[in-house]
Amino acid sequence: MARYCLLGHVDPAKLDEYRARHAAVWPELLVALRDAGWRNYSLFLRPDGLLIGYCEADDLDEAQQRVAATEINAKWQAEMARLFASEGAPDEAWERIEEVFNLEDQLEAAGR
């Protein structure tokens, strides 16, 4: 399963609301993400609004398309859009960051 690092930008003036909303994500959305193929998904937020996402998926493009096709995701994205510093749906504004090191992969390659 591939690992993905994603960058986004939350409006610094709306960090408290962003945190509050993500402390209680709608259960239907959680299930939609899982069923679409998102695994081990975490978000990390810096005080200046830099948002770092980490997830695993067999194919993130496919997983994104599958969750994007759900009504619950469309509602969530519409509500979240006003909290972001970027234009459009937040789930379409992710910047992917290349992985250059993984401890477990290198330990396995070294036979450890």
Do residues 60 and 2 touch, judged by C-beta distance below 8 A? yes
Q: 9 is written with which tokens?
A: 């930008």
Provide the pLDDT confidence category of residue 112 given band limits of 50, 70 and 90.
confident
d(CA 19, CA 41): 16
| pLDDT tens-digit readout, 45-97 | 999 999 999 999 999 999 999 999 999 999 999 999 999 998 878 888 899 99
Q: What is the pTM of this model?
A: 0.91
- Specify whether 9 is catalytic: no
pLDDT confidence of residue 45: 98
d(CA 40, CA 96): 16
pLDDT confidence of residue 91: 86
Percent of the chain with pLDDT over 70: 100
pLDDT confidence of residue 92: 85
- Domain boundaries defined on the chain: 2-109
CATH architecture, range 2-109: 2-Layer Sandwich (3.30)
Work out the number of other CB atoms within 10 angstroms of the CB of residue 74: 14
pLDDT at 105 over 90: yes
Q: 65 is written with which tokens?
A: 């398309």
Give the torsion sign (CA, 31, 32, 37, 39).
negative
pLDDT confidence of residue 93: 87
Which 3 state secondary structure label does DSSP give 84? strand
Q: Which one of the listed residues 7, 13, 22, 82 is annotated catalytic?
A: 22
